[in-house]
Amino acid sequence: MPLLGLGVFRSPAGEVTRSAVRTALEFGYRMIDTARIYCNEKSVGRGIKDSLVDRKDIVVTTKLWKTDFDDPRRGLENSLERLGLDYVDLYLLHWPFKGYCQAYLALEQLQKEGLCKAIGVSNFKIHHLQELQKAGASVIPQVNQVECHPYNAENELLNYCRQQNIVLEAYSPLGGEGNSLLSDPRIVSLADYYKVSPAQLILRWNMQRGVVVIPKSVRPQRILENSQLFNFELTMDDMDTIGDVNANVRRAYDSDFIDQRPESTFPKIIEED
């Protein structure tokens, strides 16, 4: 699994997403992270086709939304149709909505049939992962995708995932849209020292911890910038300095209460042309 991918949450359907995906692939990205609820799977599929990169060299992730928890096969088949693909490389349960254990067991079957190469989860805490085991899951989730950046380092979850051979994948690795993390003086001064941007510094920090990052941008210059992470290395001391910024502050909804989240606060599903 690549350590870097392009995220497309809030990347508008149509030309914007199509072009961001094509641009990223041309700049060397080999992983794209979408979801049913982002309502841009068709645009992602078109961007993949526009690029000259071989399908088999691209890791495509999408996610099962709660409206398909009663029938994950329908959810995945519809996603595949929108993407214009025969399989996805990684299929994630988007949140631990009610019934997540049953839904996960259904993903195991879809993986056996080759509709998804790997399966995993997102927004799972340690106890959610343990529930899957108790429910008789035979496949360990290959990935747990959670909000993770210097303000929310997820150290305990990362240690647990390492022990269990689960890849931790950081969503909102830049802190998410509108976050002040990129202008935090502690981050900015260290970035200046390394002669990199604050975004590059914190993406590199996660990568050096073995955490996969999927920054989102629709701007070619930033898509390129966010991929230039392999020509510098942080010292252990500087890894710790960034680690000290942690405040266990998460912006996303608390997954323990996801079923109580008011319906009106979820994105609406809008079909693409």
List residues near ligand NDP by CB under 6 A. Answer: 7-9, 33, 94, 122-123, 145, 171-177, 182, 197, 199, 214-219, 222, 225-226
CA dist., res. 160 & res. 239, Å (int): 20
Would residue 253 show up in a list of annotated catalytic residues for this protein? no
Decide: 268 and 228 in contact? Cβ < 8 Å: no
Distance of CA 81 to the CA centre of its chain: 21
Selected catalytic residue, list 29, 38, 100, 171: 38
As measured in angstroms, the least distance from the Cβ of 10 to ligand NDP is 6
Q: What six digits make up the tokens of 140?
A: 């360990």
As measured in angstroms, the least distance from the Cβ of 7 to ligand NDP is 2
Choice between 24 and 106, CB closer to ligand NDP: 24
CA dist., res. 211 & res. 139, Å (int): 21
Closest residue by Cα to residue 139 from 99, 162, 167, 111: 111
Using DSSP's 3-state secondary structure scheme, residue 62 falls into: strand
As measured in angstroms, the least distance from the Cβ of 243 to ligand NDP is 18
Alpha-carbon dihedral sign for residues 206, 209, 213, 219: positive
As measured in angstroms, the least distance from the Cβ of 132 to ligand NDP is 17
Residue with tokens 């508008």: 12
Catalytic site residues? 38
